Amino acid sequence: MSDSPLLIDDRDGVRVITINRPDKLNALNSATLDALHAAFDDAAGHASVRAVVLTGAGPKAFVAGADIAEMAGLRPVEGRDFSLRGQRMMRRVELMPKPVIAMINGFALGGGLELAMCCHLRIAADTAKVGQPEINLGLIPGFGGTQRLLRLAGRAAALELCLTGTPIDAARAQTLGIVNRVVPAADLESETMALATTLANAAPLALRGILDCINIGGESAIGEGLEYEAAQFGLAFATEDMREGTRAFLERRKPDFRNR
């Protein structure tokens, strides 16, 4: 639809989802949260989509945060509902059966950093800045920031970013493990699409198995995670892609994975 807050572009197995509210620095309001949830549901259901890239429109922001104009008038129960709405959408992204890359082209603050952190991989322009500035509004992160930042960067960094609200540059974000790669701004799209294409050409069922194992392992004791990994490893032997991959290796050729 023409009034959608998103742009969708398919490129050889990679679906690029762009949050298209540049006049609002791509801030997340309720309509955008719902549109993102629906867009990731749709991407999950399309066999032709092998990987997803998520970014923001315009030169300034990936997502500058949740929409403060919408939040300002919320009552306590409405605030909790808004938080849960955002958390559900981000959990949808986190549990995608296909790899999702956040292409961080500018500010990723508040809900923007929370959105980036629920993606599986993050590539940032060297000009990007990330942070959790909710403390400056008398709020706390509400879309999972306290929990994912803790898991990605550790307790000390999570406390620093959330308690001070001070943004950090992309280089420090990489040092803390919040982003995977930092590249020159001019190269951001090409570098991100190259990685996405690599993932799109990989074995889809194996990708899904890896995503599942790491999600399960991150939320369970190591014994449970290892047991789940062994089960997924065994299931891979039932796939045509595994036979093709091992055969291609032995025949010294490129594999042709069919998602079977």
What's the full length of the chain, in residues?
260
Split into its structural domains, the chain has a count of 2
Rounded CA-CA distance 120/96 in Å is 9
Do 34 and 162 lie in a common domain? yes
Q: Which of 84, 92, 14 is nearest to 55 (CA)?
A: 14
Task: Say if residue 179 is exposed, middle or buried (CB neighbours under 10 Å; 0-12, 13-18, 19+).
Answer: buried
Q: Note the pLDDT of residue 260.
A: 82
pLDDT, tens digit only, all 260 positions of the chain = 458 999 999 999 999 999 999 999 999 999 999 999 999 999 999 999 999 999 999 999 999 999 999 999 999 999 999 999 999 999 999 999 999 999 999 999 999 999 999 999 999 999 999 999 999 999 999 999 999 999 999 999 999 999 999 999 999 999 999 999 999 999 999 999 999 999 999 999 999 999 999 999 988 999 999 999 999 999 999 999 999 889 989 999 888 888 88
- CA separation (Å) from 199 to 53, 88, 125, 128? 11, 25, 20, 24
Same domain assignment for residues 143 and 236: no
Active-site annotation holds for 114: yes
Q: Which amino acid is at 88?
A: R
62 and 143 inside one domain: yes
CB 124 within 8 A of CB 144: no
Structural domain contains residue 260? no
**How far apart are alpha carbons 74 and 129 in whole angstroms?**
28
Instruction: Give the separation between CA 112 and CA 117, rounded to whole angstroms.
Output: 9
Residues 237 and 146 grouped into a single domain: no
Active site residue 134: yes
Selected catalytic residue, list 78, 94, 114, 251: 114
Give CA angle at 51 (208, 131), nearest 5°: 100
Q: How far apart are CA 135 and CA 141, in angstroms?
A: 8
Model pTM score: 0.95
Of the listed 78, 134, 160, 191, which one is catalytic?
134
CATH number at residue 229: 1.10.12
Q: Do 152 and 48 share a structural domain?
A: yes
The boundaries of the domain holding residue 244 are 204-250
User: Tell me, what's the pLDDT at 1?
Assistant: 43
What's residue 2's pLDDT? 56
Please indicate, yes or no, whether residues 235 and 176 belong to a single structural domain of this protein.
no
